Amino acid sequence: MIALMLGWIVFYYIRFELDIFSIEHVARPQMVLIPSLLIAAFWICIFTFFGLYKRLYLISRFDELVRVGKITIIGTLIFFFLLFTDDLNWTSENISSAKYFALIYWFITFTFVSLNRLTIRTIQRATVQKGMGLHKAIIVGTGAAAKSVHENLIRHRTSGLDVIGFIKPDHSNGNGDQRVIEDEQILGSLNEIRDIIKENKIQDVIVALEQQDRESLIRVLDEIDLPNITVKILPDFFQIISGLNQTNQIFGLPLIEVMPDPMPTWEKFVKRLMDIVLSLAILVITLPVMLIVAIVIKTTSTGPAIYSQERIGLYGRKFMIYKFRSMYNDAEKRTGPTWAKDDDPRITPVGYWLRRLRLDELPQLFNVLRGDMSLVGPRPERQFFVDQFKKQIPLYTRRLRVRPGITGWAQVKWKYDETLDDVKEKTKYDLFYVENMSLKMDLKILINTIFTMLSGKGQ
C-alpha cells in the first residue's frame, strides 16, 4: 500500500508540479491522498488477480522483477484505458500525452513496487542464512540419495529448508533396506507420513528414493497429496512422473517441484465467478421446471423430492450433496452402497427420465453457490467408495486437489460407473482434467454437457 501510494504521489508531482508538460493545475491535497488510496486498492486487486501474492518461498530476485514488470505493464494499460475512456475529445496530441503519462507512471510504479519487494526478499534471504524463518521439511528415503540431499541442504542455507527427519520407504520389492541414515533421524515409515506431516507442521516434502525404491514413488505421491504441502523430487525421477508436474528450479539445489496448483490465480478467480454467475442464472431460468419436477416426484413415489448424501470434496472435506430423488426411497437399505447399472430396479420411472436429461442434478447448483462444488470438475464420491478406490487405483486422491463438479471431462467422455474398471478408466479422464484444467477446457465440457442433455444420453 505504501509503495503504491508513494508511486502515485510522485507521478502526480512530476505531472502537475514540475511544469514539464505545461499543464495548468491548482495543487490540492485531496487530489493526491484520496486518489492514491483508491489507486493502491486497484493495484492490489490487479496483483491478486494475476497471482503476485501467491506463496512463493525464496523466489529468485530476478524472477521477482520479471513478474512485477509484466503485471505492472498490464495494470498500467488497464488503468489508463479506464481513465481515458470517458474522454471523447481524442486528438493526436492527447494520445501522445497519454502514452508519455502511461510510460512514466508505469516506470514509477514498477520502481517503487520492485524496490519494496527486493528489500523484503533480501531481508528474507539474510534471515534464512542465519537459520531463521526456515520451512520445516522431511526427506522420503534413507539411502545415499537422501543423505546427499540432506548434506546439500545444509550447505545451501538459501534453499530455506530445515530437514527435521527422514521417512523410511517400503522395501516390498525384495531388494532390502540399503539405508545409511541413523535410526534416531528416522521419524517413521511411509504408512505414518500423513500423521508426521500434520504433527510436525511440515511445509515441504523432498522425495529422494533409491533406484530399487522407485516403485514406491506413486504411493509416496498419493500419501502426500495434501493442501499447502510443497513436494520436491530429484530430477533423476523426472521421467517417472512425466505429465504430473510443472518443472520449477528450486534455488540453491537441483530439485524439481511437482504437483503445483493446477490453475493460475486469475483463472481460479474467473472460474469461481463463472460458477456463481451461471449457477444463479440457471436457477432463475429453471425454477419453474424444478418446481414441476419436485411435484411430479412427490406424487409418483413416496419419499422426499430432494435427498441429500454425504460426499467427499476438495482435499477430502465432507459435504452434503443435493439431488432430485431418482430412486425409490431407502433404495440401498438392504444392499448398502452399490453402483448403478442398466435397467437398475432401484430407479423410479420418473427418475429414469430425470437421469437421462440430467435434471436430477439441478439442486447441486446450490452446492456450487456454497462453494462445495464447481460446475466442472471430477464427480464427488462417497467415503465408502473413496476408501476402496484409494487402495486400488494409483493417484486416485489427485482428483481431490480440485473442487468436484456437476459435470466433468470423465462424464462427457465415459459412461456411468458400473464396475471398478469403469472407475479406473474415468480416473484417467479426471487426472487428465486436473493436470490440464483451464477456462477453455471448462467451456468445452459445459458445451458437451448441454449436447448430452439435449440428446438424452445421461444416466
What are the residue ranges spanned by the domains of the chain? 2-129, 135-258, 265-455
- Examine the pLDDT at 237 and tell me if it is beyond 80: no
- Examine the pLDDT at 195 and tell me if it is beyond 80: yes
- Under the phi-then-psi rule, with left for phi > 0, alpha for psi from -120 to 50, and beta for the rest, what region is 228? left
Tell me which range, 195-209, 327-341, 362-376, 393-407, is most confidently predicted by mean pLDDT.
362-376
pTM, full prediction:
0.69
Confidence at residue 378, expressed as pLDDT on a 0 to 100 scale: 92
3-state secondary structure (DSSP) of residue 335: coil
- Under the phi-then-psi rule, with left for phi > 0, alpha for psi from -120 to 50, and beta for the rest, what region is 371? left
What pLDDT band is residue 174 in, cutting at 50, 70 and 90? Answer: very low
Model confidence over 219-232: pLDDT tens digits? 777 777 777 788 88
pLDDT, mean of residues 251-278 = 78
Higher local confidence (pLDDT), 325 or 133: 325
String of b and e for 215-240 (b: at least 16 CB within 10 Å)?
A: ebbebbbbbbbbeeebbbbbeebeee
Residue 145: other Cβ atoms inside 10 A: 20
- Examine the pLDDT at 110 and tell me if it is beyond 60: yes
Q: Are the C-beta atoms of residues 140 and 42 closer than 8 Å to each other?
A: no
The DSSP bridge pattern shows strands 204-207 and 230-233 to be: parallel
Contacts of 155 (CB under 8 A, 6+ apart): none
Alpha carbon distance 283, 304 (integer Å):
20
What pLDDT band is residue 374 in, cutting at 50, 70 and 90? Answer: very high
Amino acid, res. 211: Q
Confidence at residue 173, expressed as pLDDT on a 0 to 100 scale: 47
Percentage of the chain exceeding pLDDT 70:
79
Higher local confidence (pLDDT), 256 or 243: 256
Listing DSSP states for 253-310 in one string gives: S--EEES--SS-HHHHHHHHHHHHHHHHHHHHHHHHHHHHHHHHHHHHSSS-SEEEEE
Q: Are the C-beta atoms of residues 395 and 431 closer than 8 Å to each other?
A: yes
Confidence at residue 63, expressed as pLDDT on a 0 to 100 scale: 82
What pLDDT band is residue 357 in, cutting at 50, 70 and 90? Answer: confident
3-state secondary structure (DSSP) of residue 11: helix
Question: For residue 372, with 0-12 CB atoms within 10 Å meaning exposed, 13-18 middle and 19 or more buried, which class applies?
Answer: buried
Alpha carbon distance 195, 201 (integer Å):
10
- Examine the pLDDT at 89 and tell me if it is beyond 70: no
Q: Are the C-beta atoms of residues 375 and 405 closer than 8 Å to each other?
A: yes
What pLDDT band is residue 108 in, cutting at 50, 70 and 90? Answer: very high
Fold exhibited by the domain 135-258 = Rossmann fold (3.40.50)
pLDDT, mean of residues 239-268 = 60
Model confidence over 286-328: pLDDT tens digits? 999 999 999 999 888 888 899 899 999 998 899 999 999 888 8
Residue 327: other Cβ atoms inside 10 A: 20
pLDDT, mean of residues 90-108 = 77
Closest CA to 378 of 454, 329, 299, 445: 445
Lowest mean pLDDT among 244-258, 344-358, 393-407, 442-456: 244-258
Question: For residue 2, with 0-12 CB atoms within 10 Å meaning exposed, 13-18 middle and 19 or more buried, which class applies?
Answer: exposed
CA angle 205, 264, 274 (to 5 degrees): 130
Confidence at residue 94, expressed as pLDDT on a 0 to 100 scale: 61
Confidence at residue 239, expressed as pLDDT on a 0 to 100 scale: 46
Confidence at residue 172, expressed as pLDDT on a 0 to 100 scale: 46
Lowest mean pLDDT among 123-132, 139-148, 236-245, 266-275: 236-245
Tell me which range, 220-229, 252-261, 397-406, is most confidently predicted by mean pLDDT.
397-406
Percentage of the chain exceeding pLDDT 90:
27
- For the chain, the average pLDDT equals 81
What pLDDT band is residue 240 in, cutting at 50, 70 and 90? Answer: very low
